[in-house]
Amino acid sequence: MAMIKWPNDVLVEGRKIAGILVVTKASPGERTLCLICGIGLNVNDGPSRLPDTATSLAIASGKTHALDDVLSALLDNLTNTMNRFEARDTDELWRHVELRLAFRGEMVRVEDGHRTHRGILRGVTSAGLLTLQLPSEETVSVAAGDLTRGPVMMP
C-alpha cells in the first residue's frame, strides 16, 4: 500500500515513488488564489536508474506502464480531489491521509528552518499540519519542514 511521508512524498514499501509540491499564488488586488502543482512520479524506471531509497510503478507492479494511461489516471484523480476541495468536501480526503500517513507512532525529527522538533508523530490536522508529541508530552503542530524517521537522538 502507498503511504504518505509528510509533507509531500509518496512511499511504496518504504521507498519514494512520487513527490508533489504545491505553491499558492495570489495576484495583487485579486481575491482568486492560484495553485501551482508539480508532481514527479517514477513510472518505468528500473533499479539501476534509481537510488536505493526510490522505487517505481514498474518495480512495484512487475510490469511496464503506458505513460498516457498513467497520466490520464493521475489527472482524473487530481481533478476529483480538487473538485472536493473546492466543494469543501474534505473529510474523507483527510481520513485517507490519516490512514496512509507513514511513521505514525514512531519517533521522528522535523527540521523547520532553524528549529528542530523531535517527537512521536501523532497525525496530520485538517489544515495539513504535522502533529508531534514531544518528550515533554507537549504537542506541537508543524507547518513545513524536512521529516526524518527515527530513531533519533533525544536531547
How would DSSP label each residue in 38-96? Answer: EEEE--S--GGGS-TTB--HHHHHTS---HHHHHHHHHHHHHHHHHHHHTT--HHHHHH
DSSP state of 101: B
Q: What is the pLDDT of residue 153?
A: 54
Mean pLDDT is lowest, of 21-30, 35-44, 75-84, 145-154, for 145-154
- The residues, ordered by sequence, that sit 6+ positions from 32 with a Cβ below 8 Å of its Cβ are 26
pLDDT tens, residue by residue, 28-74: 887 777 878 899 999 999 999 999 999 999 999 999 999 999 999 99
Cell numbers representing residue 107 in the block? 519517533
Instruction: Give ∠ CA 137-139-141 in degrees, rounded to 5.
Output: 155
Domains of the chain (ranges; CATH) run: 2-99 (3.30.930.10), 107-149 (2.30.30.100)
Instruction: Report whether 2 contacts 17 (CB < 8 A).
Output: yes
Which neighbouring-strand residues pair with 131? 123, 141
